Amino acid sequence: MKKWIIGCYRRLSADEIQGEGESNSVINQKKIVDDYLSDKKDIKIYKYYSDDGYTGTDFNRPGYNEMLDDIKNKRINGVIIKDLSRLGRNYIEVGNFIDEIVPKYRLRFISVNDSVDSYLNPNVMDSLEIPFKNLMNESYSRDSSKKMRSSLKASKKAGNFIGKVAPYGYIKDENDGHKFVLDEDAAKIVKKIFNLALKGVSKKNIAKELNDNHILTPSQYLKERIKYDFSLATEKWTTKTIDHILKNETYIGNLVQGKKTRISHKTHNFVTIAEDDWIIYKDHHKPIIQENIFNQVQDIIYNRNIRTNKKGNIYKYTGFIKCADCGCNMHRLTRTKKGIKQSYFYCGNYLRNKSCTGHYILESDVDEVVLEVLKQFINLVCNASQKVEDVSISRIEYNNELSKIRLVELEKEIDRYKILLDDVLSDYKLDLITKDDFDDFNSSYMYELNNLRLEKEEIEKAKKHSNNLDWLDNFKKNQNFSEINRNIVDEFIKDIYIYENKKIEIKFRYKDQYEELLKYLKNQNSMV
């Protein structure tokens, strides 16, 4: 009598753990197999292979791979399972095992509940019964996947968190795993990051400060403090990590889910979902950051011209060059091809989520057009300026009293909030207020201070570019410029729009002043 040294394979998916429970558990599978083999003297179990919590559509499972290794190394010459669905619910992969692996290694294959035994009844392996059952098992998996996705989506829309771990700054509520409560230690770090951003500190320098102070990264924190098994925990804060926190609406109390989804029930890779299709549930939990402060940080970090290059200088087109169709800032990329280094621009929305087209254009083409068109504009203005001098037009001065009064008021308010910031810091150092109170007061005062500074900046900018003839001096001074730099762009250009067909539209500063000047000259000439 031939002796069979076989492996018993058991599997239970996470979905089945919640659904079928004990009836299909790996323990119950073992019992069914052991009962079946109780009177089979020619069969000996070499090992029980288990994959508990693994889906049947994915065959990259540790227990299954270990069994394959033992088959290939001839440690076992047979496999027994409770039923075909335990092997898997992927028609092609299960079929490959039965049609390729079993005959190649001359295995005895037994499926107890399906009455399949390749040794006692070899004809059953060639019947239509096995492929049909495999198709049914895959169909079950597909239907279950659809139902599960639909159920999860409905749960997300109802404001239920369905992830394993709460976002950094929060922990799951012990009484309701779908809700969050504050994790005080991590929340303090989130507040610190936003407060630094409020002060205009760059993402790079925020990351440096956290690293210098040995603050645990979010993944390290999960691993060491929450005891979550995070195998890819990063040791250093990066601008990407800071970016994720500063953009995350979680910190104003919103639950944001549905950013990614699986491709299908058989392909378990994730794809990114367009931002417009994210599932956002407002006021889900206690915010760490006030919404007005969050919005101001978005403006400071992402909408204003404060990004710098590696040398710490602001790049010449930052904040000026935009997609003509969606209005998004263009992103500058540099690559070296065949030894030639080239820089070019792509629409930011195209790079993020393909919600717009590329609007690809070489930086050298932008430079060429901007240089030529700007030279023409400056020459036109300078010619008009000469005519002004020829007809002895005196310098036009507009009444700036209101602006002057408001600037004085703003300076007083700015000084007042600076004093308040100093006072609250002093109170904290003297233990007159708690750290939480200090953070709240500091954020609130800094928010008001930034608003005052922004208003002052706008008034001064308007005053600088006001409709008096002093602005002509800037044109005369730069009449013979030969290259585009940040100062030139900042002085003469409002926006640069790039169209899909590479058409470039330039919006100039002083355009209205120039047109008013032409009208004035025309009136003067008509009076002569």
CATH number (domain holding residue 119):
3.40.50.1390
User: Can you tell me the distance from the alpha carbon of 63 to that of 449, in angstroms, rounded to the nearest whole number?
Assistant: 61
**What's residue 76's pLDDT?**
93
DSSP letter assigned to residue 396: P
> Does position 367 have pLDDT exceeding 80, yes or no?
yes
User: Can you tell me the distance from the alpha carbon of 114 to that of 137, in angstroms, rounded to the nearest whole number?
Assistant: 13
User: Can you tell me the distance from the alpha carbon of 421 to that of 515, in angstroms, rounded to the nearest whole number?
Assistant: 46
**What's residue 131's pLDDT?**
60
**What's residue 189's pLDDT?**
92
Identify which has the larger pLDDT, 240 or 314: 240
Residues 393 and 496 in one domain: yes
65-74, 130-139, 161-170, 185-194: least confident range = 130-139
> Does position 510 have pLDDT exceeding 60, yes or no?
yes
> Does position 73 have pLDDT exceeding 80, yes or no?
yes
User: Can you tell me the distance from the alpha carbon of 326 to that of 224, in angstroms, rounded to the nearest whole number?
Assistant: 44
**What's residue 398's pLDDT?**
36
Is there a contact between 135 and 92 (Cβ–Cβ < 8 Å)? no
**What's residue 396's pLDDT?**
40
Q: Where are the alpha helices (DSSP H) in 115-272?
A: 129-157, 184-198, 203-212, 218-224, 239-246
Distances (CA, A) of 130 to 36, 134, 169, 242: 20, 6, 51, 53
Identify which has the larger pLDDT, 359 or 402: 359
User: Which of 499-503, 516-520, 522-526 shows the highest mean pLDDT?
Assistant: 499-503
Is there a contact between 417 and 448 (Cβ–Cβ < 8 Å)? yes
Residues 124 and 48 in one domain: yes
For range 88-93, the mean pLDDT? 69
**What's residue 505's pLDDT?**
93
User: Can you tell me the distance from the alpha carbon of 25 to that of 13, in angstroms, rounded to the nearest whole number?
Assistant: 9
> Does position 298 have pLDDT exceeding 90, yes or no?
no
Residue 287 CB neighbour total at 10 angstroms? 18
Among 57, 102, 425, 120, CA closest to 264: 57
**Tens of pLDDT, residues 222-231:** 877 765 555 5
**Tens of pLDDT, residues 122-155:** 887 766 566 646 555 555 555 555 555 555 566 6
**What's residue 212's pLDDT?**
92
145-149, 161-165, 402-406, 487-491: least confident range = 145-149
The pTM for the full model equals 0.41
Task: Enter the tokens of residue 302.
Answer: 């992402």
Distances (CA, A) of 211 to 235, 239, 252, 313, 494: 9, 12, 25, 24, 38
End of a domain among 125, 150, 175?
A: 150
Residues 332 and 288 in one domain: no
Residues 21 and 82 in one domain: yes
Residues 354 and 482 in one domain: yes
By the 10 Å C-beta count (0-12 exposed, 13-18 middle, 19+ buried), 176 is classed as exposed
> Does position 377 have pLDDT exceeding 90, yes or no?
no
Residues 169 and 297 in one domain: yes
CATH number of the domain that 217 lies in? 3.90.1750.20
**What's residue 302's pLDDT?**
65
Write the DSSP string, 302-343. Answer: IISS--B-TTSPBPTTTTTEEETTT-PBEEEEEEEETTEEEE
**What's residue 332's pLDDT?**
85
Residues 11 and 137 in one domain: yes
> Does position 5 have pLDDT exceeding 90, yes or no?
yes
In single-letter form, the type of residue at position 449 comes to L
Neighbouring residues of 478: CB distance < 8 A, sequence distance ≥ 6: 378, 488, 491, 492
Task: Find the helix packing angle between 291-298 and 184-198, rounded to 10°.
Answer: 50
- Which residues span the domain enclosing 121? 4-150
User: Which of 18-32, 181-195, 196-210 shows the highest mean pLDDT?
Assistant: 181-195
- The length of the chain in residues reads 528
**Tens of pLDDT, residues 259-294:** 665 544 444 455 566 666 678 888 888 899 888 788
Among 32, 27, 10, CA closest to 112: 32
**What's residue 77's pLDDT?**
93
347, containing H or E segment = strand 340-347
For range 426-440, the mean pLDDT? 83
Residues 272 and 361 in one domain: no
Task: Enter the tokens of residue 333.
Answer: 């990329």
For range 346-372, the mean pLDDT? 88
**What's residue 33's pLDDT?**
87
Structural domain count, the chain = 4
Is there a contact between 403 and 465 (Cβ–Cβ < 8 Å)? no
For range 226-253, the mean pLDDT? 79
**What's residue 234's pLDDT?**
74
> What sign results for the dihedral spanned by CA atoms 511, 321, 502, 368?
positive
**What's residue 397's pLDDT?**
41
Is there a contact between 450 and 300 (Cβ–Cβ < 8 Å)? yes
Residues 366 and 486 in one domain: yes
End of a domain among 261, 288, 303?
A: 303
Residues 475 and 362 in one domain: yes
For range 21-43, the mean pLDDT? 79
End of a domain among 465, 495, 513?
A: 465
The backbone torsions φ and ψ at residue 501, rounded to the nearest 5 degrees and listed phi first, read -85, 15
Residues 86 and 60 in one domain: yes
490, containing H or E segment = helix 486-492
Structure confidence at residue 8 as a pLDDT band (50, 70, 90): very high
Residues 186 and 293 in one domain: yes
